[in-house]
Amino acid sequence: MGDEQPEVGVIHSQKELEILYQSSDLVAVNKPHGLLVHRSIIASDASEFAVQLLRDQLGQRVYPVHRLDRKTGGVLLFALDETMNSLMQQQFADGKVDKTYLAIVRGYTPDELDIDYPLRVDERSAGSANAKVGTVQDAFTHLKTLRRTEISLPFGKHATSRYSLVELTPTTGRLHQLRKHMAHIFHPIIGDRPHGCNKQNRLFKEQFGMETMLLHAERIRFRHPLTDEEITITAPWQAEFSRMLTVLFDSPDVNANTLPA
């Protein structure tokens, strides 16, 4: 948002990325779960990357102006020239880009919660954070619960299992911030490794054949650096996220509720 092992996630097979927005200097795609943004020494198993796929698809150089974890799907924004790349990276750094995520997490979460929990810079995040290892940085996320569900799936000493669909709005951009914040409040994101619950992850693999992380970058909103136009880009759910929403919240044998507006 160390000693983390490479994350495998979902096998990526599509060659063309879904384009959500395109102008003369910006393009946004719906990044699949399991696709790396660019090459990484900690994921030597990967052979496809969003940067190369989009470059070949558009026939020109592209510049990722922010990052998403390999196992996170959703809105990924690129600049089409170096000037726009610099301007948009500055907007992200200054907190001028509104980001909204959806996640499926363990347990019943509060209706709303402000998570104000500083995160320590580790070896993995030191470069992107421009800070020394061990530095403590402010990190803030707003949580809003959209739906809760209880399904007939035994887990441990419990006869049923409870999950929540939450909307997460970070106002800082620390590495793995959302994953660490949800683990901190004991509602880990399903499929997260290493911050999540390994027993839940194994349960989802065995019961549903699900191995990805249920975190989706749903929307970004910002003002174009040159024209001042307000731009909102929304990404549809990827297939695996959509499937698990149906399994957990819309199946006939579940007790699900949607909170009042």
User: pLDDT digit string (tens) for 71-80?
Assistant: 999 999 999 9
Q: What pLDDT shows up at residue 128? A: 55
DSSP 226: T
Distance between CA 139 and CA 170 in Å, rounded?
8
The residues annotated as belonging to the active site are 69
Q: Enumerate residue ranges in the chain where pLDDT < 70.
A: 1-14, 39-47, 123-131, 251-254, 256, 258-261
Q: What pLDDT shows up at residue 50? A: 94
Residue whose C-alpha is closest to residue 241's, from 70, 69, 73, 99: 73
| Residue 50 phi, psi dihedral angles, 5° rounding | -60, -40
DSSP 17: P
Question: With b meaning 16 or more CB within 10 Å and e meaning fewer, what string describes 217-242?
Answer: bbbbebebbeeeeebebbbebbebbe
Instruction: Report the amino acid identity of residue 46.
Output: A
List all residues 6 or more positions away from 202 whose beta carbon is below 8 Å from its beta carbon. Answer: none
Q: What pLDDT shows up at residue 107? A: 97
Report angle CA 71, 27, 213 to the nearest 5 degrees: 10
DSSP 146: E
Q: What proportion of the chain, given as a percentage, has pLDDT over 70? A: 84
- The answer to whether the beta carbons of residues 115 and 167 sit under 8 Å apart is no
Distance between CA 53 and CA 40 in Å, rounded?
15
Distance between CA 222 and CA 91 in Å, rounded?
8
